[in-house]
């Protein structure tokens, strides 16, 4: 094409105002997209609507170009045949594509019965029946501490307090089980991080995946004048996609917390039609669940942080006393003090606080009441009532892992293997895959039922392909089969993936020990000690080392290492746990065998 022809072509488009109108369309589209993003954030809509609008506007661009070409000149013009065909078809395609990418609810359409009837034995030993939500509707969520957008008074504590209160408020809906940030302190330490603020998005998603939750929530908190602004972001764990976002501004933090709970509930369950006999729950204001006193909430949070980070129970109790002084009916603080006193072996005094908490817990979510009473009976050493309450708890709230884990611990300690197996199977049937599959595999592996064990391990691999390489239990299965070389090869491959994982070194040490390769067994345990980043890791590695010395008949080294182990353990565990480790039949027998 010659320069004159090229100039004529460009001049022709210019006369038709082609570039002017096309640029106007692009700028207007950009502005409209910004408006849609604001609407999505303001009203908590699915962010997928933004993508749908972008697709529609982009696909319509050829029609805009065609229309501008034929109608951009000043003066009268006529519709061309190509326009009459192309533009409607193009718009139709744009609508279809936008609809295809338009957001759907993240909750699958549920066609089955919304409710089911469960039978259980209550605390008094009476047989009961109750209608509960179908367990297929249950959702597991992990809540992370919030970030702080600007430094304001008590901001570093409120970023922890708001998520903790939010968890309690959300869990009033029996369909949802939420893990609170206080359960993540060990994970933060194991990652070598100092604070939650160092967590990247990818690490948050990994932690959510490790906890086998469906969703995870992060957010931010800010304050301007007397008003708080809190932004919530909800993500799906499997793909990390943001599915819900909303911003709230109010002078009252509890109003914000209550508002998000309502919006989250509506978002997750907006495909469930109203039907008769749906179980109802009391949605109390968040302030009534915890305390309306912000300072009291902060004192409780300081106590939790001291226990989790430094195991400083005495100082933690001091903060609880301040919280109770600020709010004498603060159930959470009174309950926490009861637990800490019992953990220090002050059982009589601790039970008094438990009884106060039980008297104050009317109106608290029923599963929190069941948890509190179950702990109360355990500290009383009333295993019968604790088991009965735990069984009732898991029948009424099958979406909660806690009752299965408490019962699993009781059955394991008391040697009730049949009940232990039944417990994990019921948890598996209730939808708890993840660690429950591994627990079942372990039981069958230890009983020599290797084919049955392998079935559960393989199901775990299919459900969690990204975790397939983390199934240390397969190596244990090979050891139980007597195939020590295969176990060593398996654990060695685990070390190639993650040489800093303490448990990987301990697993291969066990395989070497069973094979009779004592030199490599001791070397692997020492590697684990060297790799330990936390006191808990060190205690675990030292436990393996004491077992090694005892089984090798090295009495002096056993006694010396066990004393070191207890000293380290005392920095992270309360006295009642230390005593349980030290003053048990197995430990006393070992000390006697070693001449102590």
Closest CA to 359 of 331, 337, 378: 331
* Per-residue pLDDT, 47: 64
- Asked if residue 295 and residue 213 are part of one domain, the reply reads no
Q: What tokens does 371 get?
A: 């948890």
**Would you call 564 exposed, middle or buried from its count of C-beta atoms within 10 A (0-12, 13-18, 19+)?**
middle
**350: CATH:** 1.25.40.10
As a dihedral over the C-alpha atoms of residue 186, residue 191, residue 197, residue 200, rounded to 10 degrees, the angle is -130
**180: CATH:** 3.40.50.10610
- Asked if residue 344 and residue 263 are part of one domain, the reply reads no
- Asked if residue 154 and residue 233 are part of one domain, the reply reads yes
* Per-residue pLDDT, 6: 53
CA atoms within 13 A on the CB side of 505: 24
- Asked if residue 174 and residue 241 are part of one domain, the reply reads yes
227 domain residue, yes or no: yes
69 domain residue, yes or no: yes
User: Can you point out the beta strands (E) in 80-205?
Assistant: 115-121, 127-133, 139-143, 147-148, 176-179
* Per-residue pLDDT, 271: 52
388 domain residue, yes or no: no
Contact 487, 511 (CB under 8 A): yes
* Per-residue pLDDT, 117: 85
- DSSP three-state, residue 368: helix
Q: What is the largest CA-CA distance in the chain?
A: 110
Cα-based angle 185, 189, 195 (whole degrees, multiple of 5): 70
2: Cβ contacts below 8 Å, ≥ 6 apart:
none
- Asked if residue 211 and residue 183 are part of one domain, the reply reads yes
- Asked if residue 166 and residue 235 are part of one domain, the reply reads yes
279 domain residue, yes or no: no
- Asked if residue 257 and residue 145 are part of one domain, the reply reads yes
**Whole-number Å distance between alpha carbons of 591 and 596:** 5
**Whole-number Å distance between alpha carbons of 405 and 390:** 10
Range of the domain at 58: 3-101
117 domain residue, yes or no: no
Q: Which of 331, 363, 395 is the last residue of a domain?
A: 363
* Per-residue pLDDT, 72: 72
Backbone angles phi, psi at 115, to 5 degrees: -125, 165
- Asked if residue 258 and residue 142 are part of one domain, the reply reads yes
As a dihedral over the C-alpha atoms of residue 339, residue 341, residue 347, residue 352, rounded to 10 degrees, the angle is -80
Closest CA to 272 of 105, 139, 140: 105
How high is the mean pLDDT in each 10-residue block of the chain (596 residues)? Answer: 55 77 87 82 66 88 84 75 85 85 52 74 84 79 90 84 92 86 79 82 89 92 92 92 92 94 84 50 80 93 88 91 96 94 89 95 86 91 89 88 89 86 90 85 87 87 72 84 90 86 91 93 94 86 92 91 88 71 77 85
156: Cβ contacts below 8 Å, ≥ 6 apart:
148
32 domain residue, yes or no: yes
- Asked if residue 265 and residue 171 are part of one domain, the reply reads yes
260 domain residue, yes or no: yes
Query: Which string of b and e fits 140-176 if b means at least 16 CB within 10 Å?
Result: bbbbbbbebeeeeeeeebbbbbbbbbbbbbbbbbbbb
Closest CA to 39 of 29, 28, 50: 50
Q: Which of 319, 336, 363 is the last residue of a domain?
A: 363
Q: Which of 363, 398, 415 is the last residue of a domain?
A: 363
- Asked if residue 158 and residue 245 are part of one domain, the reply reads yes
- Asked if residue 252 and residue 170 are part of one domain, the reply reads yes
**Whole-number Å distance between alpha carbons of 270 and 265:** 8
As a dihedral over the C-alpha atoms of residue 307, residue 310, residue 315, residue 321, rounded to 10 degrees, the angle is -20
**Whole-number Å distance between alpha carbons of 247 and 241:** 18
Instruction: Give the number of domains in the chain.
Output: 3
- Asked if residue 262 and residue 217 are part of one domain, the reply reads yes
264 domain residue, yes or no: yes
User: Can you point out the beta strands (E) in 147-213?
Assistant: 147-148, 176-179
Closest CA to 269 of 176, 164, 179, 401: 176
* Per-residue pLDDT, 12: 74
* Per-residue pLDDT, 273: 47
């Amino acid at each position: 094409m010659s320069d004159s022809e090229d100039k004529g072509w460009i001049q022709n488009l210019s006369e038709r105002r082609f570039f002017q109108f096309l640029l106007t369309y692009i700028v207007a589209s950009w502005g409209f997209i910004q408006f849609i993003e604001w609407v999505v954030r303001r009203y908590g809509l699915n962010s997928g609507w933004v993508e749908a609008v972008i697709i529609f506007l982009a696909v319509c661009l050829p029609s805009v170009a065609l229309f501008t070409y034929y109608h951009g000149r000043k003066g009268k013009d006529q519709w061309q045949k190509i326009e009459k065909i192309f533009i409607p078809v193009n718009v139709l395609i744009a609508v279809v594509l936008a609809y295809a990418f338009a957001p759907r609810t993240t909750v699958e359409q549920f066609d089955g019965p919304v409710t089911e009837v469960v039978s259980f034995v209550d605390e008094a030993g009476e047989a009961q029946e109750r209608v509960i939500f179908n367990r297929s509707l249950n959702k597991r969520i992990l809540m992370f501490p919030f970030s702080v957008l600007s430094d304001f008074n008590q901001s570093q504590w409120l970023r922890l307090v708001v998520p903790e209160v939010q968890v309690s408020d959300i869990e009033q809906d029996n369909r949802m089980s939420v893990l609170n940030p206080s359960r993540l302190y060990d994970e933060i330490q194991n990652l070598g991080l100092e604070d939650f603020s160092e967590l990247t998005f990818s690490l948050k998603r990994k932690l959510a995946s490790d906890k086998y939750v469906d969703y995870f929530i992060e957010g931010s908190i800010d304050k301007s004048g007397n008003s708080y602004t809190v932004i919530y972001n909800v993500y799906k764990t499997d793909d990390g996609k943001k599915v819900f976002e909303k911003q709230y501004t109010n002078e009252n933090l509890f109003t914000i917390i209550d508002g998000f709970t309502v919006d989250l509930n509506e978002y997750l369950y907006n495909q469930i039609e109203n039907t008769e006999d749906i179980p109802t729950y009391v949605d109390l204001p968040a302030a009534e669940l915890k305390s309306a006193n912000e300072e009291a909430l902060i004192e409780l949070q300081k106590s939790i942080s001291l226990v989790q980070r430094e195991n400083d129970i005495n100082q933690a109790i001091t903060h609880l006393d301040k919280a109770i002084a600020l709010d004498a009916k603060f159930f959470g603080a009174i309950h926490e003090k009861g637990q800490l006193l019992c953990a220090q072996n002050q059982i009589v005094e601790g039970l008094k606080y438990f009884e106060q908490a039980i008297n104050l817990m009317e109106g608290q979510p029923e599963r929190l009441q069941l948890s509190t009473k179950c702990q109360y009976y355990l500290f009383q050493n009333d295993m019968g009532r604790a088991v009965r309450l735990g069984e009732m708890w898991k029948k009424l709230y099958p979406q909660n892992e806690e009752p299965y884990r408490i019962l699993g611990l009781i059955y394991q300690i008391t040697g009730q293997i049949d009940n232990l197996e039944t417990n994990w199977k019921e948890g598996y049937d209730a939808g708890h895959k993840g660690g429950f599959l591994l627990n079942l595999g372990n039981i069958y592996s230890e009983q020599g039922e290797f084919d049955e064990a392998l079935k559960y391990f393989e199901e775990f691999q299919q459900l969690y392909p990204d975790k397939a390489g983390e199934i240390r239990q397969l190596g244990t299965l090979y050891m139980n089969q007597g195939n020590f070389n295969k176990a060593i090869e398996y654990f060695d491959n685990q070390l190639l993936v993650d040489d800093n994982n303490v448990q990987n070194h301990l697993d291969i040490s066990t395989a070497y020990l069973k094979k009779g390769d004592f030199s490599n067994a001791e070397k692997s345990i020492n590697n684990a000690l060297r790799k330990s980043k936390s006191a808990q890791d060190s205690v675990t590695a030292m436990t393996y080392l004491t077992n090694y010395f005892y089984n090798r008949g090295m009495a002096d080294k056993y006694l010396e290492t066990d004393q070191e182990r207890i000293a380290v353990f005392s920095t992270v565990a309360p006295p009642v746990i230390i005593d349980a480790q030290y003053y048990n039949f197995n430990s006393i027998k070992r000390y006697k065998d070693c001449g102590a």
